[in-house]
Amino acid sequence: MSLKDKLDELHQRGLAEIKKSTDLKDVNQVRVSLLGKKGPITEVLRGMRDLDAEERPKVGAFANEIRDDLTAALTKRREELENAVLNARLANETIDVTLPGTPVAKGEPHVIQQIIDQIEDLFLGMGYQVLSGPEVEEDKYNFEMMNLPKNHPARDMQDTFYITKEILMRTQTSPMQARTLEKHDFSQGPLKMISPGVVYRRDTDDPTHSHQFHQVEGLVIDKHITMADLKGTLQVLAHELFGDKFDVRLRPSYFPFTEPSVEADITCFNCGGKGCNVCKNTGWIEVLGAGMVHPNVLKMAGVDPDVYGGFAFGVGPDRFAMLKYGVDDIRNFYLNDVRFLTQFTKKG
Amino acid sequence: MKISYNWIKEYLDLDVKPVDLAEKIERTSVEVDDVVTPSEGLKKIVVGHVLSVEAHPDSDHLHICQVDVGEDEPLQIVCGAPNIAKGQMVIVALPGSRIAGNVKIKKSKMRGIPSAGMICALQEIGFSDDVVPKDYVDGIYVLPADATPGDDVYDYLGMNDSLIDLDVTPNRGDMLSLNGTLRDLAAIYDKPVTLDQPEVKETGEAIADQLTIHADADLAPQYRMRLVKQVKITPSPMWLQIRLWNAGYRPINNVVDITNYIMLKYGQPLHAFDYDKFAGQDVYVRNAKAGEKLTTLDEGEHDLDDHDIVIADDQAPIALAGVMGGLTTSITDETTTVAIEAAVFEHDHIRKAAQRHNLHTDASQRFERGINRAGVQDALDAAAEMMTDLADGVVQTGTAVGSDNVPEPAVIPLSLTHVNAVLGTTLELAKVVHILESLGFTVATAGEDMTVTVPIRRNDIHIPADLLEEIARIYGYDELPTTLPTGRMTMGTLTSAQKLMRATRHSLEGLGLNQAISYALTTADKAKMFMMQPSAETDLAWPMSTDHAVLRMNVVTGLLDDIAYNTARKVKDVALYEQGRVFYREDGNDRPSEEEHIAGAITGTLMPAGWNQPAKDVDFYQIKGIVAAYLKDMAINGDVTYEANADMPEMHPGRTADILVHGHRIGFMGQVHPTIAKKFKIGATYVFELNLQAIIDMPKQENQYDVISRYPAITRDIAMLVPDEVTNDQIVALIEKRGGAFLQSVKLFDVYDGVKVPKGKKSLAYTLTYQDKHETLVDDAVTQAFEKVEKRLQDDLGAEIR
């Protein structure tokens, strides 16, 4: 039997043994027995001395080839067996992935806060400041400087929590118009502000009335502000809060501190404008009041209405939240039932 | 005000459906509450002729009627109305009909007698009790004798008309009349309108010999009367009754109905007096005198004082001016001479009088908003004319005038540039002029400058801005362009305080608390609990209820109310925070100052039990962990320390700590005192409250990078027995002070005071971590430092190292 034949045979036998091995120990034994220093291949190579010089390199190369092949086969077999062991272990570790995750403590922002934040972010992006004013106001700012003199029918005692004759719980965020107009330095640029906050009315709490609720006032005063700008601004607001599909329409209304005064309606959520009982078959829902700031308001705050003018609007986050989410009782916002507070979890 | 579609159509040629008309009014003029067609929803309700009426054998009040409803055979209907009589034309709901409230009428038997339908009262076909003529309130309605049996009743009763209910804003008093509405619609639809011009026939004696008026022009800028004699009081004709009940008024008699009708048409409240009941021939418009009394038409008795304006004769008040007439001089069936009053009263007086006497009438509502001061005589003449036509009255010659101050019309300059600059439009002069003229305004132009004369009836228009509104609404808000403000750029950024408040909310939400918004108005008791500084309380002058009568001086009680609300609804685990204001007032000041606070409250467990973890009830250290983590987020530049406070009456004396920064108290935390918790009906609850304004105002530490050492750290553990009074803070402070240059951190890892520890002692164990940032620490150096600390603990705190 030639050396080459011998090597061939060793090669075949080796591969068979590798194939037969069933665990890592086997594989190791096979490796030692085949490729070890006392193994047959080494032995065969030792016999090369007897070959002539011409044959020697050929057989040597062949032997190396076989050794490499067996080494590769051993490595492969070992990996196979290792994988099998690992897979068996992992199979053992299988869990029910449908079991609930471990609870984490996580709090949610109040739904009204979410709406206020959304409004703030929108107007910050358009260059407005966010201002906050006192909740306990002077009659002067809450009414008089908003063009509601003492005998005005729109300020009947019924609606206002007075503390003294001149001090009251603000009934609206509008006094912040007067307060900011008084202070603003127009040489530094236009006045663009929103002012969110809590307001109070002398009402009995029921599903649609709350003695405490929120408003966001908006005010823009400059030399060339138009009613078209107001319309555009309200449209941007409606799109931000409700989505692009919602149209805004303006209707005439009356507020002592704006002229012209308008109320803004948006397309009814419930029916998309077709008409339903939510919108009293009009296809529209009233969402806010607005208008061009009344010259008297500017004058009383020391701003020249012949030079400056602009618009103001007031929105009710409570009403927005009720409309947007179909909340049927305004008291939910102030009773803080955890089952209510944790319903509004969508972020971004 | 409910305005009739048919009435409008008599004057304006409109080709629009009632709902579309209503929509147009809402878009252009005033809000519309509702559009109602009274016959809508009704079915098979016809005229019936009562052929015979017999008593029901088994009833003392039912009658068996044979009723001709225009079919071959009469219907037999059992009727319980007291006023049913043979020969009447009545309203019959046929079998299979639908009456008010969507009720279906079927053939039935009443006490054994078959009844094919129902004879109806007006209320049963949808009329409100308030508008049904008195004679028919408690029985069936009787139609005019010329009605045809079998006809639908709707047209006989004006029920096919549509009624548009206008919700008129306080500035648009002119819209509280047909004429005012017609003028607005004429402009809206750009159509001509011709209003009726009264033609009064004065065939009687001179009024001057019969009536003299003494009016204070400050109280009543205009006061006029006409006299109509030989009046015959009868029910009004159907057309007039229909106009009134469709507008929400009960028909009474021809004279009273005429005054109401003229008010609806002209917007001018009128009052009809029975002239013969006057004491004398003089009428006074004056302030009431203290002690005077008046019984008004509604039989209400009123004590008057000198704030009230009254109409009086020589002896006593006969009417509360502009609000309601008196009973003694009211029109009765026997009245023959009517004094009709048409006046203007100052709106302020009227508003206050209506409030004072709690009498809000249609007249007072109109005077409060202001009426057409140029139309007083027209309305008076129209009423007199109608009394001739409908009551055979003889109008006496002339009008008695007590005061006659008609204001000058407003003249307002307006430039086209201004119009377009404010509206954002590019309107042409001709368009603007046309809009204003269509509203009945007079416009003189010079170049693009206009001078607009506003009719007196539009008392809401005084300045250019008022004209802009008229132009904008008639032009159409839909037609305005949609743009955003341009001009100099402005920065929109939150202030650092606003950023911190947002960060506060995010931090506490991240720590597991839900944001609550509670009521700031609370009870007197709750307002002054958990006080962080002394303050006088601030009370509402006229609260609606004691529950919301005082301004809060703490935020915690609101959260405890919230927890109580949850607890009562079996929600056991509640974790809330609230950011809001408290109101501190100094004695002598009316107005409190407002301070931003942040508070939290937890009851039950913060981390609910899961299938793989048990629930852990909230305790002091959990809320402390939250407060500490939050304060870390706020990066206050200064040491935060916690000191036991056993003196807050609402807090557990052994489980409450003050929270201090640099030794300055900014809040407290701990367990609510069990007796307080019991008062709120809640379980064990842990709370904190911090002065957020103080946190905002404190200097902050900027974030900075600290090199992470490449050299290994060495740790040493130390366990010790110390007397119970020794606090963790003392131990840590000592270790930190004496720990040497390489001590990086001290961490408590065990506290034990169980059975194996001698009484009066506790066992604490800490891990001390040492590290040199610049080279590898030598063990010896650590040992030296550590031993120094051990010695100090023994010497200074009496620790027994274990």
Q: What is the C-alpha separation between B551 and B553, in angstroms, rounded?
A: 7
Residue of B nearest to A213 (CA): B519
Matching residue, tokens 């001390």: B768
CA proximity to A170, closest of A195, A205, A191: A195
Q: Lowest mean pLDDT of A35-44, B20-29, B473-482, name the range.
A: A35-44
Segments making up each domain of chain A, as ranges: 3-92, 111-341
Q: What is the C-alpha separation between B537 and B261, in angstroms, rounded?
A: 55
Count of CB atoms situated within 10 Å of the CB of A9: 12
Q: Which of B:444-463 have CB within 8 Å of A?
A: 463
Q: Which of B:409-428 have CB within 8 Å of A?
A: 421-425
Residue of A nearest to B495 (CA): A130
Given this model, what pLDDT does residue A30 score? 85
DSSP per-residue string spanning B451-513:
EEEEPTT-TT--SHHHHHHHHHHHH-GGGS------SS-------HHHHHHHHHHHHHHHTTP
Given this model, what pLDDT does residue A244 score? 86
Given this model, what pLDDT does residue B547 score? 95
For strand A191-200 and strand A129-130, is the pairing parallel, antiparallel, or unpaired? parallel
Q: What is the C-alpha separation between B264 and B271, in angstroms, rounded?
A: 13
Work out the pLDDT band at A1, boundaries 50, 70, 90.
low
Given this model, what pLDDT does residue B245 score? 96
Burial class of A119 by CB neighbour count within 10 A (0 to 12, 13 to 18, 19+): buried
B569 touches chain A (CB under 8 A): yes
Beta-carbon contacts of B246 under 8 Å, excluding residues fewer than 6 positions away, are B2, B4, B38, B158, B161, B163
Are B423 and A227 inside 8 Å of each other by CB?
yes
Question: How far is CA B767 from its chain centroid?
Answer: 63
Q: Which of B:222-281 have CB within 8 Å of A?
A: none
Measured CA to CA in angstroms, residue A332 lies from A5, A107, B547 at distances of: 92, 18, 17
Using the predicted structure, report yes or no on whether residue A157 has a pLDDT greater than 60: no
Given this model, what pLDDT does residue B187 score? 96
CATH of A111-341, one of 3.40.50.720, 3.30.930.10, 3.30.300.30, 1.10.760.10: 3.30.930.10
Measured CA to CA in angstroms, residue B110 lies from A73, B76, B103 at distances of: 106, 11, 18
Give A166-182 pLDDT, tens digit per residue.
Answer: 999 999 999 999 999 99
- In chain A, what residues touch B606 (CB-CB under 8 Å)? 105
Given this model, what pLDDT does residue A34 score? 83
Measured CA to CA in angstroms, residue B121 lies from B89, B130, B137, B141, B491 at distances of: 12, 13, 8, 5, 69
CA proximity to B45, closest of B66, B65, B67, B62: B67
Beta-carbon contacts of A287 under 8 Å, excluding residues fewer than 6 positions away, are A238, A264, A265, A266, A315, A316, A319, A320, A323
Beginning with the edge strand found earlier in the chain, give each strand of the sheet holding B317-320 in spatial order: B212-215, B282-287, B309-312, B317-320, B324-325
Query: What mean pLDDT do residues B167-195 have?
Result: 94
Residues facing B281 on adjacent strands: none
Chain B nearest C-alpha distance from A8 (Å): 57
Q: Where does residue B322 fall: left (phi above 0), alpha (psi -120 to 50 degrees), or beta otherwise?
A: left
Give B632-676 pLDDT, tens digit per residue.
Answer: 999 998 889 999 999 999 999 999 999 999 999 999 999 999 999
Beta-carbon contacts of A75 under 8 Å, excluding residues fewer than 6 positions away, are none
Measured CA to CA in angstroms, residue B244 lies from B1, B18, B34, B122, B237 at distances of: 12, 19, 18, 14, 11
Given this model, what pLDDT does residue A156 score? 66
> Is-contact B266 B340, C-beta < 8 A?
no
Q: What is the C-alpha separation between B296 and B326, in angstroms, rounded?
A: 4
Angle ∠(B41,B45,B46) on CA atoms, nearest 5: 150
Chain B nearest C-alpha distance from A49 (Å): 58
More confident residue, B7 or A13: B7
Nearest to A226 among B424, B478, B540 (CB): B424
Using the predicted structure, report yes or no on whether residue B449 has a pLDDT greater than 90: yes
Work out the pLDDT band at B528, boundaries 50, 70, 90.
very high
Given this model, what pLDDT does residue B197 score? 94
Looking at residue B470, its amino acid is: E
Given this model, what pLDDT does residue A23 score? 87
> Is-contact A255 A229, C-beta < 8 A?
no
Q: What is the C-alpha separation between B556 and A80, in angstroms, rounded?
A: 65
Give A300-325 pLDDT, tens digit per residue.
Answer: 999 999 999 999 999 999 999 998 89
Calculate helix-pair angle for B362-369, B347-356, nearest 10 degrees. 140
Are B517 and A260 inside 8 Å of each other by CB?
no
Q: What is the C-alpha separation between B508 and B517, in angstroms, rounded?
A: 14
Residues facing B636 on adjacent strands: B700
Q: Which of B:512-531 have CB within 8 Å of A?
A: 512-521
Q: Is the peptide bond before B18 cis (omega within 30 degrees of 0)?
A: no
Given this model, what pLDDT does residue B588 score? 92
Looking at residue B785, its amino acid is: A
Query: What mean pLDDT do residues A36-52 have?
Result: 78
**Structure tokens of B527?**
């307002």
Chain A nearest C-alpha distance from B775 (Å): 41
Beta-carbon contacts of A185 under 8 Å, excluding residues fewer than 6 positions away, are none
- In chain A, what residues touch B617 (CB-CB under 8 Å)? none
Angle ∠(B435,A253,A234) on CA atoms, nearest 5: 100
Are A112 and B513 inside 8 Å of each other by CB?
no
Structural domains of chain B, with CATH: 2-35+162-189 (3.30.56.10), 43-157 (2.40.50.140), 202-404 (3.50.40.10), 410-479 (3.30.56.10), 496-697 (3.30.930.10), 714-801 (3.30.70.380)
Work out the pLDDT band at A158, boundaries 50, 70, 90.
low
Count of CB atoms situated within 10 Å of the CB of B5: 21
Q: What is the C-alpha separation between B648 and B657, in angstroms, rounded?
A: 10
Q: Which of B:387-406 have CB within 8 Å of A?
A: none
Nearest to A211 among B172, B548, B592 (CB): B548
Mutate to test the interface with B, among A338, A339, A340 (most CBs of B within 10 A): A338
CA proximity to B255, closest of B454, B389, B162: B389
Mutate to test the interface with A, among B174, B368, B482 (most CBs of A within 10 A): B482
Count of CB atoms situated within 10 Å of the CB of A340: 17
Q: What is the C-alpha separation between B175 and B185, in angstroms, rounded?
A: 10
Burial class of B49 by CB neighbour count within 10 A (0 to 12, 13 to 18, 19+): buried
Query: What mean pLDDT do residues B758-777 have?
Result: 92
Mutate to test the interface with A, among B414, B422, B495 (most CBs of A within 10 A): B422
Residue B378 phi/psi, 5-degree rounding, is: -60, -45
In the predicted model, what is the mean pLDDT of chain B?
94
pTM, to two decimals: 0.88
DSSP A187: G
Q: Quote helix, strand, coil % in chain A, to nearest 5.
A: 45, 20, 35
Chain A nearest C-alpha distance from B159 (Å): 22
Q: Coil, helix or strand for B536?
A: strand
Measured CA to CA in angstroms, residue A286 lies from A267, A325, A326, B26, B165 at distances of: 9, 16, 15, 12, 18
Q: Lowest mean pLDDT of B116-130, B180-194, B351-365, name the range.
A: B351-365
Q: What is the C-alpha separation between B118 and A88, in angstroms, rounded?
A: 87
Looking at residue B650, its amino acid is: E
Give B269-315 pLDDT, tens digit per residue.
Answer: 999 999 999 999 999 999 999 999 999 999 999 999 888 999 999 99
